[in-house]
Amino acid sequence: MKKINCILLIDDNTADNEFHTLTIKEANVCNHIQVALNAIEGLNYIKNQSELLPKPDLIYLDINMPGMSGFDFLAEYAKLDKKLKSKVVIIMLSTSLNPDDRKRANEIDEVTEFQNKPLTVEITQKTIEKYF
């Protein structure tokens, strides 16, 4: 199984983050998992890259978050320096059954894919195989 260095989870739901962290660990697909509890925290993590804060290879992004939604995050992310964004796969995660959310996500260049919550070990492993 291929391994990437870092996955960044951006989700305001701590239960989802804990479940997804355990799922990613069980899938054994990355060396580092970083959790951001909101979109601003996620943007700040990406902007402040260093040896201590590994650049995410994959971002799992929730859509519905208070303050700044996943779509708002993507609008700000698009403005970042190209070096910070290079080779980053962004997957929007949602419990939303609204087809408009999927359509909107698929129209954004930075979004690689739209997946429904919750993550599973199999889906996580297939995602790594598909994009890395």
Question: Tens of pLDDT along 3-54?
Answer: 999 999 999 999 999 999 999 999 999 999 999 999 999 999 999 877 778 9
In three-state secondary structure terms, 15 is helix
Number of helices (H) and strands (E), helices first, in the chain? Answer: 6, 5
What is the model's pLDDT at position 129? 97
Q: In what order do the strands lie in the sheet with 30-36?
A: 30-36, 4-10, 58-62, 89-94, 111-116
What is the model's pLDDT at position 44? 95
Model confidence, pTM: 0.95
3 state SS for 32-65: EEEEECCHHHHHHHHHCCCCCCCCCCEEEEECCC
Question: Tens of pLDDT along 60-114?
Answer: 999 999 999 999 999 999 999 988 888 999 999 988 778 899 999 999 999 999 9
